[in-house]
């Protein structure tokens, strides 16, 4: 049965969402309690709800764009990390920070027993080289 690889949601995406929610909340909080007036003083400004609505209107599409592109990048990284690294010369597999033979990898990673044999193509190529013993 084939199941597609789906990584769990990344903490990076949670941080992005949290950051954008805080930006929007600060925009509305500024209009609700006159945040700059409370921090630095000065003349008491009147709340401008249109300004906060406009800020939210511009922040939301940026939030969506950042979220979508970050999610695509994270999915691509997870996909590339799921590749199995095989030595081009000895055919050992990089597993648990070690280079192990294929048989050991199958035993450790999948609890699969292995046996050796020879495929028909290799058997045909080897057969002319093997001469029957002289009697």
Please report, for the chain, the start and end positions of each structural domain, with discontinuous segments joined by +. 11-81, 84-116
Higher-pLDDT residue of 41 and 99 is 99
Q: How confident is the model at residue 21 (pLDDT cuts 50, 70, 90)?
A: very high
Q: Read off the pLDDT band of 63 (50, 70, 90).
A: very high
**Distance separating alpha carbons of residues 49 and 95, to the nearest angstrom:** 57
Q: Decide if pLDDT at 54 tops 80.
A: yes
In angstroms, the CA 52 to CA 41 distance is 20
Percent with pLDDT over 70 in the chain: 79
Beta strands in the chain (DSSP E): 93-95, 98-100
**What SS3 state is found at 105?**
helix
Helix, strand, coil share of the chain (percent; to 5): 60, 5, 35
Handedness of CA 16, 30, 32, 58 (dihedral sign): negative
DSSP 11-72: HHHHHHHHHHHHHHHHHHHHHHH-HHHHHH--S-PPP-HHHHHHHHHHHHHHHHHHHHHHHH
- Model's pTM, two decimal places? 0.54
Mean pLDDT of 13-34: 88
Distance CA 46, CA 90 (A): 74
Q: 53 falls in which pLDDT band (50, 70, 90)?
A: confident
Largest CA distance in the chain: 113
- Give the mean pLDDT of the chain: 79
């Amino acid at each position: 049965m084939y199941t597609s690889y789906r990584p769990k949601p990344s903490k990076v995406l949670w941080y992005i969402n949290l950051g954008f929610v805080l930006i929007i909340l600060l925009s509305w909080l500024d209009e609700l309690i006159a945040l700059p007036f409370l921090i630095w003083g000065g003349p008491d400004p009147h709340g401008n709800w249109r300004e906060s609505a406009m800020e939210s209107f511009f922040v939301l599409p940026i939030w969506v764009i950042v979220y979508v592109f970050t999610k695509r990048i994270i999915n691509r990284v997870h996909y590339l990390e799921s590749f199995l690294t095989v030595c081009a010369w000895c055919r050992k597999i990089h597993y648990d920070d070690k280079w192990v033979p294929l048989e050991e990898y199958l035993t450790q990673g999948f609890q699969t027993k292995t046996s050796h044999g020879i495929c028909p193509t290799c058997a045909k190529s080897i057969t002319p080289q093997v001469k029957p013993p002289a009697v």
